[in-house]
Amino acid sequence: MTRRSLYFAAPGEVDLREEPIPEPAADQLLVRTELSAVSPGTELLVYNGNVPGELAADTNLDALSGSLSYPLKYGYAAVGVVEAVGDAVDADWLGRRVFAFHPHESHFCATVGELHPVPEGISAAQATLLPTVETAATLVHDGEPKLGERVAVFGQGLIGLVTTALLGQFPLERLVTVDYSADRRARSRELGATDSVHPDEIGDVLPLPGEPAGDTPPTAGESAGGDLTYELSGNPEALDAAVSATGYDGRIVVGSWYGTKPTELDLGGRFHRSRISLTSSQVSTIDPSLRGRWDRERRLELAWHQLRERELGELLTDRYPIADAPAAYEALAESTDGTVGTLFSYDGST
């Protein structure tokens, strides 16, 4: 018996390799994967060769304990069924559907602590969105949106759309989203955006701030621009646009990871005089101000709840059998249309 494991072999090249199905150790369980989701931002960086090879893939996940050098397994959204358990594991786990932060492969072993039972009422496809919702929850926590604020979100890919869905629950004055894709903009409005525009049109729905006059700040409440801006596009050029759209004393949360793509910022003009705060957000850790009340398990419980309450399954727009993974990444790398979420299936169906 063999399993199929996906490897990023080199920039622009993925391989499917047949490997022996592992036997679970005494404290492990064997999972047969049903579906796994592609993380389009990070995985396209890996696919395109835009990641620093010496960087650890993820120091918080045992399944991604290696570096980002080729060849490597990558991915962190697998859902499957427990097919065997080790001698020290309760047999009640057999047959349970579970989620794991694990790369794309048809079978894998994990400990009980690395598996998350999928709650009743959530399908296997929906469950693959758990890390996306967890990331979006982190972005919202880090941005701290306030009653009546003007919020802008650059990028309406999978992370951007789910972040928009969570922000749409807040009593904001305005929630403006920005994306090149008309299809994604339409989805964004359905998820709660008050306006969703092409990057060239943001000034039509959000008055853009000008240069401060000397060192004199604008009158409170009259300042143009957004109070809170998220940059989630994965495009380094969008960060300058985010600065331009943010008002005096505003704040920008950068959720994009650009990898090795260079980022040029104009920080000599209104950024300097406007006292704009620029913050990095990353799901591997929790903001220090929240750690007294929040831990990883509480955040995951929140993500499961949001998955149950929000209609997010429609964001999984494309599905490929794992055998067609090379074609899936090629399509993602070339996509300029409404592709949002991509799933791999492991039973031979599409």
- HSE, CB side, 13 Å, CA atoms: give it for residue 55: 9
* Inside any domain, residue 210: yes
Is 258 found in the same domain as 189? yes
- Band (218; pLDDT cuts 50, 70, 90): low
Write the pLDDT tens digit of every residue in 199-212. 999 999 998 887 65
* Inside any domain, residue 298: no
* Inside any domain, residue 86: yes
Is 273 found in the same domain as 142? yes
Q: What is the pLDDT at residue 245? A: 94
Query: Is 46:6 a contact under the CB 8 Å cutoff?
Result: no
- For the beta sheet containing 246-254, the strands, ordered from the edge strand earlier in sequence to the opposite edge, are 195-197, 174-178, 150-154, 226-231, 246-254, 277-280
C-alpha 328, offset from chain centre: 18
Confidence check: pLDDT of 267 > 60 = yes
* Inside any domain, residue 267: yes
- Band (349; pLDDT cuts 50, 70, 90): very low
Tell me, what amino acid is at 107? Answer: H
- Residue 253: give its domain's CATH number: 3.40.50.720
Measured between alpha carbons, how far is 167 from 246 in angstroms, rounded to an integer? 17
Is 268 found in the same domain as 336? no
Q: Which two tokens stand for residue 286?
A: 């929790």
* Inside any domain, residue 10: yes
3-state secondary structure of 90: coil
Query: Is 242:227 a contact under the CB 8 Å cutoff?
Result: no
User: What single-letter DSSP state applies at residue 57?
Assistant: S
Q: What is the pLDDT at residue 213? A: 57
Is 42 found in the same domain as 11? yes
* Inside any domain, residue 293: no
Is 232 found in the same domain as 247? yes
Query: Is 313:126 a contact under the CB 8 Å cutoff?
Result: yes
Is 119 found in the same domain as 87? yes
Is 250 found in the same domain as 145? yes
Is 194 found in the same domain as 323? no
* Inside any domain, residue 30: yes
- Residue 325: give its domain's CATH number: 3.90.180.10
Write the pLDDT tens digit of every residue in 145-200. 999 999 999 999 999 999 999 999 999 999 999 999 999 999 999 999 999 999 99
Average of pLDDT values for 225-250? 93
Q: For the chain, where are the E strands, in sequence order?
A: 2-10, 13-20, 28-37, 78-85, 97-100, 107-111, 115-117, 150-154, 174-178, 195-197, 226-231, 246-254, 277-280, 318-321, 342-345
Least confident among 97-101, 233-237, 337-341: 337-341
Confidence check: pLDDT of 350 > 60 = no
For 179, the domain range is: 132-280
DSSP 269-333: SHHHHTT-EEEE--TTS--GGGTTT--HHHHHHHHHHHHHHS--GGG--EEEEGGGHHHHHHHHH
Write the pLDDT tens digit of every residue in 38-93. 998 889 999 999 988 777 666 566 656 678 899 999 999 999 999 999 999 999 99
Tell me, what amino acid is at 350? Answer: T
Confidence check: pLDDT of 327 > 70 = yes
Count of domains forming the chain: 2
Least confident among 53-57, 80-84, 105-109, 225-229: 53-57
Is 142 found in the same domain as 108? no
- Band (265; pLDDT cuts 50, 70, 90): confident
Is 122 found in the same domain as 11? yes
Is 238 found in the same domain as 138? yes
Is 222 found in the same domain as 99? no
* Inside any domain, residue 303: no
Q: Which two tokens stand for residue 165?
A: 């869905």
